[in-house]
A and B are shown apart, each in its own frame.
Chain A
Amino acid sequence: KNQVEQSPQSLIILEGKNCTLQCNYTVSPFSNLRWYKQDTGRGPVSLTIMTFSENTKSNGRYTATLDADTKQSSLHITASQLSDSASYICVVNGGTGFQKLVFGTGTRLLVSP
């Protein structure tokens, strides 16, 4: 069964600290992996998109890594800010169309002052 599992479920860090969120998937075939940020009460916003051949992708203070062999990805947030408080969702595309997207349940991050 195609699944995307994220850990931890929730995380609290102090402002200015770094953190890493994990994503393991069993989706096959693999097309690409995405990370989204979802603020409370808002729709998800795309952070990064990585294909099979990409190991890392950055977007400002967000850096995503992908190990397609072990089917793992991580999202590293550097020098966290209060505005980083949100849910971070890992999404794996198991085909060529968006109807094949498999969404994780997300990691809820709270950045505390």
Chain B
Amino acid sequence: NAGVTQTPKFRVLKTGQSMTLLCAQDMNHEYMYWYRQDPGMGLRLIHYSVGEGTTAKGEVPDGYNVSRLKKQNFLLGLESAAPSQTSVYFCASTLKGNKEPPSTDTQYFGPGTRLTVL
């Protein structure tokens, strides 16, 4: 049981390049999330998904797109990377399958992707 995995672990991009970050979970979780973590700031929610085929915007969605074509995978895309997107990106998941989960679910995080945009 690998839990939540993320690929790649590190990436360096030039301004304007595009890339996709992949998150995978093997716990059959319905909900998945993408966060970014910057120095001196708490984790901030970028996008999230409440089930296969659904996505929703979080606190800081601009410049990012997501897709949840399969229940176990949640992709985060940067179409035209900017230096302001230099950050550590974390994927997370929670179990609940209904639309309004009791929020005492345990949230499981992946190991993170460190992205640098030059």
**Chain B binder among A11-19, A42-50, A68-76:** A42-50
- Could you tell me if B42 and A95 are in contact, using CB atoms closer than 8 angstroms? no
Q: How many A-B residue pairs have CB under 8 A?
A: 62
- Could you tell me if A31 and B103 are in contact, using CB atoms closer than 8 angstroms? yes
- Could you tell me if A43 and B4 are in contact, using CB atoms closer than 8 angstroms? yes
B31: CB under 8 A from chain A?
Answer: yes
Q: Which residues of A contact B111 (CB under 8 A)?
A: 41-43
Closest to B106 in A: A46
Looking at chain B, what size class is its interface with the partner chain?
20 to 34
16 A–B pairs (Cβ distance < 8 Å), ordered by A? A4-B42, A32-B103, A41-B111, A41-B112, A43-B92, A43-B109, A43-B112, A44-B43, A91-B42, A93-B103, A96-B100, A98-B31, A98-B48, A99-B45, A100-B103, A104-B42
Using CB atoms and an 8 Å cutoff, list the residues of chain B in contact with chain A: 4, 31, 33, 40-45, 48, 56, 58, 90, 92, 94, 100-112
Using CB atoms and an 8 Å cutoff, list the residues of chain A in contact with chain B: 4, 31-32, 34, 41-46, 49, 51, 89, 91, 93, 95-106
8 closest Cβ pairs, A-B complex: A103-B42, A43-B109, A103-B43, A93-B103, A44-B109, A46-B106, A31-B103, A105-B42
